[in-house]
Structure 1
Amino acid sequence: MSASAAMLPDGRLHLNHGPIDVVLRAWGDRTEVKRAHAQAAAVFRGVLPDLCRELPLLRRALPAERPRGLVARRMHEAALPFTDRFVTPMAAVAGAVADHLLAALRDGRRLTRAFVNDGGDIALHLEPDQSFRCGVVTDLAAPGLDAVATITAEDWIGGIATSGRAIKTQGGRSFSLGIADSVTVLAADAATADVAATLIANAVDLPGHRAVERVPASSLDPDSDLGDRLVTVGLGTLKPIEIRHALAAGLAEAERFRSRGLIRAAILHLGGARAVCGPAPVAIAA
């Protein structure tokens, strides 16, 4: 299957190649936007072949040798600050693709705003006085707007990513070790947000709890970078205090990442409850 590119009626560009499905858009002078979209489409054709060539390396736990491909390097570099946890570059794959295509969009172009959405992991560009309003959806099976983050250029946020048990079991492309319904992270770039969202979602957990059903990742996908680590495939009823304890564990992980300057904010959801990590400029309002 070859890469495809198609303009949508609302001005967005849809790119697809195998498992990679991207929607992007740029704003600005019409000629600049047209050239930006063409640049992104041209770069996109090489993304999947380049990643496939280095998949064995990208599935190894860090630290590992540095890959050669441009997207693979973004993945590797985004995961490196988190190596005090188990992590592979694959934790950053969707965000790194979004960052790579955003860079292609912006290369030599004058754009006021732009976004690249790779399966829910989003890279953003905002010129001064520009903003985006980004919706947060907790349950893909019953989609609704659970929260809204208003992001301005002055917030220095270039990436948003979401992970969690509900996201992964309802069409997501990887597995979660935790029980969070969803964790959405705002960071300087999408690849970093992608890694952080994965690890925070893993930390929202109740180890050994009878309501949590887990199986080895390898039993679901023999090629998973998680190997035989147990991933969550089902979750029964939890008591309110158990939900609070699980969210507190994830919030502590998010606060550690924020204190190190790795993320700007995060919003965690489990069982109808919410926990928020982040400063006022990126406060998330329902």
Structure 2
Amino acid sequence: MTRLPQIALLSDGRRLHLQDGPIDLVVEARGAAGEVRAAYEAAARRFTGLLDELCAELPELRAAAGQRSLLKGIVARRMHAAVAPYGGDCFITPMAAVAGSVAEEILGAMLDAATLDRAYVNNGGDIALHLGNGEHFSVGLMDRPDRFGVMRTMRVDSGDPVGGVATSGRHGRSFSLGIADAVTVLAATASQADAAATIIANAVDLPGHKAIIRAPANEIQPDSDLGTRLVTRDVGALSHDEIAAALEYGAECARQVFDRGLIEGAVLQLCGDMLVIGPKDIEEQRTRLLVLENAVDA
């Protein structure tokens, strides 16, 4: 029997929920009623069968990214393109960009079918974003993604060169090589944000520290694309200086990624401390990555 995805409006009547296996999307579009309806219909059509497309190329998607790719699917190729800039420096597979790439694909289908004032596709916290003139979007920052409660918000305006937001860290859905509680990245696309968040979160680390418990990824999840690489399972007590050092390792990685034009900004969080990386030096308050103390107004 063919598996059908779950597609339905949420109880608020405004947002669309799309779920198939591990893919779980919340979609919202704003605009004329007919345009929103057309966008949601397009999202549902494109979502149907998308998981099967990815599963058909799963062995290749779990392999280390190289400069060339034999992947065929449009989402699979997008995943590879997002991680390829990092492949020469570290181990990374296209799976590091799967959530953002899927969100980006669904948003693209919506925008091809309708004219919208504002729209987003949220794939477990990795968000593809469209903002018309004068629109803005606020993303809630949590100190760690496995707990409720918003610390601050990041505001993205329509004039900002941001089309994607992604968060990675040791508390997320995927394994992490680092110890960051959360690294949130803004980039031109959701797939680029997803890949960069993974890389930067891996860099927030204290290699060899006795308070950090690690285990081979494939002992926890036999089919993990990380194989025998050690992933973080727990982090014990760290001194203020150690927290600062780990964040600075990640910040240096984020600066390099920013200088290469691969991201627009990043927020790194560990044990209650935070660093912001933006177009100017991280201490400057005029950065376009605006961190606010108010509640989320998205």
TM range, normalised to the smaller chain? over 0.9
1:132 to 126, 129, 137: 137
Quick check: 1:161–1:194 contact (8 Å CA) kept in 2?
yes
Residues in 2 aligned to 1:261 and 1:141: alpha-carbon distance in whole angstroms: 30
List per-residue Cα deviations over 1:134-187 (Å, max 9, x = no partner): 1111224431111211101111100000000122xxxx1x10000000000000
Aligned residue in 2 for 1:8 = 10
In structure 2, what is the Cα distance between the partners aligned to 1:142 and 1:39? 33
Q: Does 1:71 align with 2:75?
A: yes
Q: Tell me if the contact between 1:176 and 1:198 (Cα under 8 Å) persists in the aligned partners.
A: yes
Q: Any runs of at least 4 consecutive aligned residues in structure 1 with deviations exceeding 6 A, and if so which?
A: none
Report SS of the residue matched to 1:107. Answer: helix
Letter of the 1:266 partner, please give it.
A
Partner residue in 2 for 1:155: 160
When residues 89 and 141 of structure 1 are mapped into structure 2, their CA distance, relative to the original with a 3 A threshold, is: closer
Query: Is the partner of 1:61 in helix, strand or coil?
Result: coil
Equivalents in 2 of 1:254, 1:262: separation in Å? 10
Give CA-to-partner distance per residue, 1:20-46, whole Å, 9 cap, x none.
000001111100100100000010012
Q: Kindly indicate which of the two structures has a greater share of residues assigned to helix.
A: 1
Letter in 1 for 2:4: S
- Whether the 8 Å contact between 1:36 and 1:109 is mirrored in structure 2 is yes
SS of match in other structure, 1:50: helix
1:207-222 → structure 2 map (5 Å cutoff): 207-222=207-222
Q: How does 1:91-110 map to 2 (within 5 A)?
A: 91-110=96-115
Q: What is the alpha-carbon distance in structure 1 between the residues aligned to residue 91 and residue 27 of structure 2?
A: 31
In 1, the alpha carbon distance for the partners of 2:145 and 2:192 equals 23
Indicate conservation of the 8 Å contact 2:145/2:182, yes or no: no
Q: Which runs of 5+ in 1 are unaligned?
A: none
Equivalent pair of 2:143/2:272 in contact (CA under 8 Å): no
Residue 194 of structure 1 is matched in structure 2 by 194
TM-score, length basis structure 1: 0.96
- Give the number of aligned pairs: 281
On the 8 A contact 1:186/1:264 being kept in 2, the answer is yes
- Mapped to 1, the partners of 2:70 and 2:193 lie a distance apart of 20
Which residue of structure 2 lines up, in the alignment, with residue 25 of structure 1? 28
**Structure 1 residue 70, shift from structure 2 partner:** 1.3
Aligned partners of 1:134 and 1:150 also within 8 Å: yes
What's the CA shift for 1:108?
3.3
Question: Any idea what SS the aligned residue of 2:162 has?
Answer: coil
Distance across 1 between alignment mates of 2:5 and 2:49: 9
- Mapped to 1, the partners of 2:75 and 2:136 lie a distance apart of 27
229-238 or 63-72, which deviates more: 63-72
% same residue: 50
**Matching residue's letter, 1:78:** A
AA aligned to 1:194 is D
Query: Match of 1:111, SS?
Result: coil
Asked whether 1:113 is paired with 2:118, we answer yes
Q: Which of residues 68, 82, 85 in structure 2 aligns to 1:81? A: 85
What CA distance in whole angstroms lies between the structure 2 residues aligned with 1:188 and 1:87? 20
Q: Secondary structure at the match of 1:154?
A: coil
Give the Cα separation in 1 of the matches to 2:185 and 2:130: 16
Are the aligned partners of 2:187 and 2:264 in contact in 1 as well (CA < 8 Å)? yes
Q: CA deviation at 1:218?
A: 0.6
Per the alignment, in what secondary structure is the counterpart of residue 161 of structure 1?
strand
Q: Distance in 2 between matches of 1:233 and 1:139?
A: 14
Question: Is the Cα contact below 8 Å between 1:155 and 1:282 reproduced in 2?
Answer: no
Does the aligned pair in 2 maintain the 1:66–1:76 contact within 8 Å?
no
Q: How many angstroms apart in 1 are the aligned matches of 2:125 and 2:270?
A: 19
Query: RMSD over aligned Cα, in angstroms?
Result: 1.0
Partner of 1:56: 59
